[in-house]
Structure 1
Amino acid sequence: MARGGETSQTLDRGLRLLHLVADAPGGLTVTEAANRLGIGRAAVYRLVGALAGHGMLRRDSDGRLRLGAGVLHLARRAQPLLAEGALPALRDLAELAGATAHLTVVEGGEGVALAVVEPSWTSFHVAYRTGARHPLERGAAGRAILAGRAGAAGPVATSGELQAGAYGVAAPVLGVPGLEASVGVVALAPLDVETVGARVLAAATAIAEALG
């Protein structure tokens, strides 16, 4: 029977392998995974066998390691919890900015609106629905996520990239392991980037603390 330390090491390696595969759009070979983990190929094969048995990893027709459907199942189960944790900060942001606030996460290489809150006191605001998808290269939410990947925490502002006449300001949610996300607002009128940007940054920090 494996001792506690050995079991913890195996679990750590398995989780690191999942993260490596998740960060490799083209998948990884067993050799590449072994080199990045600093372990032998035989150990990687054992990890792959265990993770594949739970649907977390699979091997494609070229033998490259890719995420399995089990990861999607876990992600879908976790998403409502993420949305619930973000709602208080989103409500405050929507009311303070007078604009529709949203939490956007990465799914399948796109940005997906996971939670949306509309302000209660404005006559007109953007109708932004939960589940809306868009390329990361378009719109403040996606661009903020890309900025976060590059280590930038500041707000990103765009106009008309996803909807004509719409203005957005967003910032990445940083410091939550395994989560790529942004928080932002979208409005039908130009936004004061300095003022709204500060509020968006505060919301991003609050959400990171709530989810971290």
Structure 2
Amino acid sequence: MLALLHTSPVHVPVFDALRDTDAPGLPLRHLVRPELLAAARESGPDAVAEKVAGELGALVRAGAGAVLCTCSTLGTVAEAAGPALGVPVLRVDRPMAAEAVATGSRIAVLASVESTLAPTTELIADEARRAGRTARVRTVLVPDAWERFTAGDQEGSLAAVADAVRRVREAGGVDALVLAQASMAPAAERFADGGVPVLASPRSGLRAAARLAGQ
């Protein structure tokens, strides 16, 4: 079984659909804890590290063979809890970061939540070190996207993200654009035009976690 820690319920059907196409038959267990992201935004991810570890431990005791954390803000503390749990713990954006580093050294990170920018930048730097490459990261906070998302206006949120992507692409000077949060992923589908790649995390993250779970 693969367990998934989410901070929004909208991710549950997204990852169920990805499982059906990319890892059919893999049992999933979803745990949604929006309060963890709220606390991390207020006090920083380290402030909720113990709570995150506790939630992951409960998932392991329930039979999880691997855990996927779909919240980029909590990804670092989730992975840090892994060694003590005895099962693989993967942050959903790590495979995406590895792909970005392989694409080129100039990477733009777009996020709708400011607390996501530092963890994602650090993740890309980590993947660059692993690959023996260099990475120069610029960050872009997309205004109003998170507010629209939490208000239920997903289309408005995605439109804001897409507009930000267009501006970065037009400005040039980047080899890859990274959408830092899983909630931003549908915007990437609007840029499958052969230009500067726009990378999202859910599909690559789910595939990697499925392999860890033995699927």
Fold shared, TM-score > 0.5 on shorter chain: no
Instruction: State the TM-score, normalizing by the size of structure 2.
Output: 0.34
Considering fraction of residues, name the structure with more strand: 1
* Greater relative contact order (Cα < 8 A, sep 6+): 2
| Structure label with greater radius of gyration | 1
Considering fraction of residues, name the structure with more helix: 2
